[in-house]
């Protein structure tokens, strides 16, 4: 038995002291186990590699308003991530600066950080406070700013791409061109251009202009009015080892003519693609996984929503597994897509990958096309009765592209002269560099039409991923892919079935299981009471005088 003094010393002084010490020490230890698929919150190997290969010091300044930190958990996670970053390399100097300090606030504004307004509620009033959460990277004399960061999930991608740009002092350049005269780049592709310019140097090119020699990639939106000269330029560019993304169609839907659709006539582009072993069919692709679109009521009546199988939504499960682009993007929405299919065996030196297909419920519609949603859903009855299949709508080609033999009727002598400068002037098949080509079956895919899609961000993300893949920047593509899980509830094609599953889950979890628990409890308690009362009766009988006499 311990003496009272010793007991008091141990239990009331030493053990509580140990608890306090353990509590304080425990709050200082950092470390975490990331259980998310793709380890979303852990520094990835490409980022780690960059840090380990650093030769000169990098300065990271994180301007953070404490007010924001108490408002959301994200700044704390961003800070932890940056600390983890700094812990890997001794050449990374991290400073977390209090942006509420007038001096730091001034610096933050001078550096181009974006202040945000936050509502600050007090007991009787509410006011707006200005907060910062921006990162400034410094390397030698150069500096890159992430103006406002409040999403720890995309931070790594943002940080590493900014890092690369700063250290290499160069951004990949994309020449962007519209192949549809009705859609002017600056007015019809605002979202796409804005998104691309966040990561790449974007140059707008008109048809007939030469592709700039400095361009690493060429993006062509639409093909309806693509001239033979431009097609020849594209061929030259690819053969020279460039990267090209074409959003193309075999059937064009006229937006200003009640959405009438017509097959595009054979063109030089068809000839070019044939040379690569690919064909764009003159059919429209439909899918059971499609969008629901608003339809204005007749005569100014109320708006209604109709199912529209011409606008299809492709998910990660429709993608080729293992391809960096499909791994980085959870899917894509296509408007009046066309089939893109291989023509027999792929040409030597070229690798063809069917990047996205429809679901197994894909169908095709031949001419005459019924594309107006006002026609109702009955027009698709015959098509749905036919057997469905997976239909290719996005294709990736990589390898050595053969030189374009037939430049077409209007291809001039100086065709692609600047593109030629990209890889030299006199070339032969043997000298062709490895190029990359992405074919997206839908002329409107990246136009501002995408705002009407299921998730506009996915198409924009696809563009960024396409840019990284065409530039050969697999690391950044992998980083982008870390946050690309398709979390939509799209596991079941039928919305009725989906609603039924949810209803079943609701019943089971709200009513059935709780009711089962209560019933089980009631039965158990009743049983115990019966046993108890039986035991009581037995004991009273046993102790009664009559029983005793017996």
Partner 1 sequence: MTRLLALTKKELRIHFSSPPVFLAIGFFLSAAALWFFFIYGFLARDTASLRGYFAAVPILMVLVIPALTMKGWAEEYRLGTSELLLTLPLRSWELVLGKYLGTMTVVLVMVLLTVPVAFLLMPLGEFDLGQITAEYIGTVLLSGTAVALGLFVSVWCTNQSTAFTGAAGLLLVLTLIGRLDSVLSLPAPFLAVFRYVSLDTHFDGFVRGVLDVRALWYYVWLTALCLYVTSLVLEARRRA
Residues that bind partner 1 (CB under 8 A): 11-12, 15, 19, 22-23, 26-27, 29-37, 40-41, 66-67, 69-71, 73, 120-123, 316, 485-492, 498-499, 501-502, 504-506, 508-511, 513-515, 517-518, 520-522, 524-525, 528
What's the residue count for the chain? 550
Nearest approach, Cβ of residue 290 and partner 1 (Å): 15
Taking the least distance from each CB to partner 1, the nearer of 101 and 158 is 101
**C-alpha–C-alpha distance, residues 163 and 144, integer Å:** 8
Taking the least distance from each CB to partner 1, the nearer of 91 and 96 is 96
Taking the least distance from each CB to partner 1, the nearer of 76 and 474 is 76
> 467: how many CB neighbours lie within 10 A of its CB?
25
Nearest approach, Cβ of residue 323 and partner 1 (Å): 18
Taking the least distance from each CB to partner 1, the nearer of 38 and 212 is 38
3 state DSSP class of 548: helix
Nearest approach, Cβ of residue 279 and partner 1 (Å): 33
Q: Is 202 exposed, middle or buried, given 0-12, 13-18 or 19+ CB atoms closer than 10 A? A: buried
Nearest approach, Cβ of residue 53 and partner 1 (Å): 27
Taking the least distance from each CB to partner 1, the nearer of 374 and 511 is 511
Nearest approach, Cβ of residue 335 and partner 1 (Å): 20
> Which of these, 180, 176, 195, lies nearest to 450 by C-alpha position?
195
Nearest approach, Cβ of residue 70 and partner 1 (Å): 4
Nearest approach, Cβ of residue 509 and partner 1 (Å): 4
Q: In which element (H, E) is residue 93 found? A: strand 92-98
Read off φ and ψ for residue 162, nearest 5 degrees: -65, -40
**C-alpha–C-alpha distance, residues 240 and 243, integer Å:** 9
**C-alpha–C-alpha distance, residues 468 and 491, integer Å:** 29
Q: Quick check: 394 and 332 in contact, CB under 8 A?
A: yes
Sequence-ordered strand ranges (E) for 152-277? 173-178, 201-204, 217-221, 243-248, 251-254, 260-263
**C-alpha–C-alpha distance, residues 534 and 184, integer Å:** 90
Taking the least distance from each CB to partner 1, the nearer of 360 and 403 is 360
Taking the least distance from each CB to partner 1, the nearer of 31 and 90 is 31
**C-alpha–C-alpha distance, residues 363 and 349, integer Å:** 32
Taking the least distance from each CB to partner 1, the nearer of 382 and 524 is 524
Q: Quick check: 217 and 471 in contact, CB under 8 A?
A: yes
Written as one string, the DSSP assignment of 184-198 is -HHHH-HHHHHHHHH
Nearest approach, Cβ of residue 35 and partner 1 (Å): 4
Taking the least distance from each CB to partner 1, the nearer of 154 and 434 is 154
Taking the least distance from each CB to partner 1, the nearer of 272 and 319 is 319
> Which of these, 259, 205, 208, lies nearest to 373 by C-alpha position?
259
Nearest approach, Cβ of residue 234 and partner 1 (Å): 36
Nearest approach, Cβ of residue 454 and partner 1 (Å): 9
Read off φ and ψ for residue 312, nearest 5 degrees: -110, 155
Q: Strands 201-204, 173-178: parallel, antiparallel or unpaired by DSSP?
A: parallel
Taking the least distance from each CB to partner 1, the nearer of 36 and 214 is 36
Taking the least distance from each CB to partner 1, the nearer of 170 and 524 is 524
Cα 78 from chain centroid?
20
3 state DSSP class of 336: coil
> Which of these, 319, 366, 297, lies nearest to 338 by C-alpha position?
366
**C-alpha–C-alpha distance, residues 158 and 220, integer Å:** 26
Nearest approach, Cβ of residue 59 and partner 1 (Å): 25
**C-alpha–C-alpha distance, residues 463 and 473, integer Å:** 14
How far apart, in Å, are the Cα atoms of 64 and each of 46, 74, 99, 286?
Answer: 26, 11, 5, 49
Nearest approach, Cβ of residue 514 and partner 1 (Å): 4
């Amino acid at each position: 038995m311990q003496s009272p003094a010793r007991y008091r010393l141990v239990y009331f002084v030493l053990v509580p002291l140990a608890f306090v010490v353990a509590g304080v020490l425990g709050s200082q230890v950092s470390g975490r186990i990331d259980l998310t698929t793709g380890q979303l919150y852990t520094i990835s190997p490409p980022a780690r590699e960059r840090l380990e290969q650093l030769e000169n010091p990098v300065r990271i300044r994180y301007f953070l308003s404490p007010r924001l930190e108490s408002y959301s958990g994200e700044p704390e996670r961003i800070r932890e991530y940056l600390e983890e970053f700094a812990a890997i390399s001794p050449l990374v100097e991290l400073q977390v600066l209090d942006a509420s300090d007038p001096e730091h606030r001034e610096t933050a504004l001078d550096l181009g950080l974006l202040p945000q307004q936050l509502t600050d509620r007090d007991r009787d009033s509410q006011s707006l406070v200005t907060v910062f959460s921006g990162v400034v990277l410094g390397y030698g004399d150069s500096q890159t700013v992430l103006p406002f960061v409040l999403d720890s999930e995309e931070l790594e991608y943002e940080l590493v791409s900014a890092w690369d740009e700063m250290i290499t002092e160069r951004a990949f350049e994309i020449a962007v061109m519209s192949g549809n005269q009705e859609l002017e780049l600056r007015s019809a592709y605002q979202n796409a251009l804005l998104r691309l310019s966040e990561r790449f140097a974007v140059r707008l090119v008109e048809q007939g202009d030469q592709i700039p020699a400095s361009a690493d990639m060429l993006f062509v939106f639409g093909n309806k009015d693509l001239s033979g000269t431009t097609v020849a330029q594209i061929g030259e560019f690819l053969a020279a080892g460039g990267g090209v993304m074409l959003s193309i169609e075999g059937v064009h839907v006229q937006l200003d003519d009640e959405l009438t659709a017509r097959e595009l006539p054979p063109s030089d582009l068809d000839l070019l693609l044939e040379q690569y072993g690919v064909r764009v069919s003159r059919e429209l692709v439909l899918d059971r996984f499609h969008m629901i679109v608003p339809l204005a009521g007749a005569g100014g009546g109320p708006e209604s929503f109709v199912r529209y199988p011409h606008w299809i939504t492709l998910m990660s499960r429709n993608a080729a597994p293992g391809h960096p682009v499909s791994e980085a993007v959870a899917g894509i929405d296509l408007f009046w897509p066309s089939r893109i299919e291989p023509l027999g065996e792929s040409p030597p030196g070229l690798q063809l990958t069917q990047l996205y297909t429809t679901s197994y419920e894909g169908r095709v519609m031949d001419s005459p096309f019924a594309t107006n949603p006002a026609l109702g859903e009955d027009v698709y009855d015959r098509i749905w009765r036919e057997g469905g299949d997976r239909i290719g709508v996005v294709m990736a080609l990589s390898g050595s592209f053969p030189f374009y033999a037939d430049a077409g009727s209007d291809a001039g002598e100086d065709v692609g002269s600047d593109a030629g400068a990209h890889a030299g002037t006199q070339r032969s098949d043997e000298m062709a560099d490895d190029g990359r080509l992405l074919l997206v079956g839908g002329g409107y895919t990246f136009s501002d039409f995408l705002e009407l899609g299921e998730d506009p961000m996915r198409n924009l993300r696809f563009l960024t991923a396409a840019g990284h893949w065409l530039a050969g920047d697999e690391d950044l593509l992998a980083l982008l892919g870390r946050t690309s899980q398709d979390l939509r509830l799209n596991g079941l094609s039928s919305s009725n079935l989906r609603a039924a599953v949810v209803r079943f889950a609701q019943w089971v979890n709200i009513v059935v299981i709780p009711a089962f628990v209560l019933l089980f409890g009631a039965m158990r308690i009743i049983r115990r009471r019966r046993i108890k009362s039986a035991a009581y009766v037995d004991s009273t009988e046993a102790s009664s005088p009559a029983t005793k006499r017996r």
